[in-house]
Amino acid sequence: MQNSMDSQSDKRFKPETERRILFQILRAGKNGISASDCAKKTSLSLDTISNVAKKLEHHSLIKRKKHGRWVTYFIRYPALNDVYLFSMLLGSKIFEKCIRFKVTGSSQRVDFLNNTTSPFNHSPYIEAKFTRKDWIERLLVEHSFRLGAVITFLSFLAMDTKNGPLQSLDSGVSQAEKDIIVKQWFEEVVTPTNLLWAFRQSIPYQPDSTDNSIHQAKYSLNEIAIAQLTRAFSRALPSVYAELETIQKDHVATVRDMKTEIRERQCRHDFNVPDFRNSRKRETCKICGYERITDLQRKLGIRPS
């Protein structure tokens, strides 16, 4: 595969929309991708997919086949000359293949201690002290460690001028344009959906679950699984868990205070009838619960005796 492209194809590939569509068609491989699936994966409308696809087909970058009302797109050889797409496909493959590891054995007897693909193996800086009963803790730590390592490596690749998306760029490309290219490349390779998918692949079962239908879920876990994984995470990474819990609780309190402030600011207050027996009275709005302290003597123009 060539790692260079002429200036003409470079102009064709620059629009972000075209790159996103080409990338999905490239990832689909020899089976191609339907227009509807391409629209879902790129979050673009079918009209946009159709219009861009006609332009790409005109430049011999893709071909399309119609089956009645359905259209399928396939990548063509000239598109493979684009270094940006090539490096994006490389980054995607690295993420998909390295982020998950094979799990052997039954759900309660996963043999991680003899797992040769463990990220802890061959590292002079890490000494794993897990026992067989700590297999869930090890699963979570290995996933976190592997995910961090893969994202770190992809960060290197994104900014690499020889192997990443910045290779073979014209000397006239500004630094601002380079930053946009790197940002778009990284957002396409490390998507939130990819992160969620990678984690779900690392959890091959529902802990202590008898609901077999849950096992087919792509992005969900039941309450028992979540509780068990949360406890294991708090034991395996206590300082990180404590920090995340603090952030979560602070966020809940902040949102609650924001809601209260907005409700009080928009409310047409209806306060309780003042109690004339007290010189100072705490009044509460009957609608939103806002409280204020009123100096009744000053409010009524009464001079203190």
pLDDT of residue 304 exceeding 70: no
CA dist 297 and 232 (Å) reads: 61
Average pLDDT over residues 209-218: 53
What is residue 193's predicted lDDT score, i.e. its pLDDT?
Answer: 76
Residue 281 bridge partners (DSSP): 294
Average pLDDT over residues 277-286: 67
Q: Where are the beta strands (DSSP E) in the chain?
A: 33-34, 62-67, 70-75, 280-284, 291-295
Q: Which residue has the higher pLDDT, 259 or 208?
A: 259
Q: Is 24 in the same domain as 111?
A: no
Domain-located, residue 210: no
Domain-located, residue 244: no
Q: How many structural domains are present in the chain?
A: 3
Domain enclosing residue 100, as ranges: 83-204
Q: Is 98 in the same domain as 175?
A: yes
User: Biggest alpha carbon distance in the chain?
Assistant: 97
Q: Is 166 in the same domain as 90?
A: yes
Average pLDDT over residues 107-115: 48
Q: Considering only CA atoms, which of 272, 269, 290, 289 is closest in space to residue 281?
A: 272
pTM of the model: 0.62
pLDDT of residue 209 exceeding 70: no
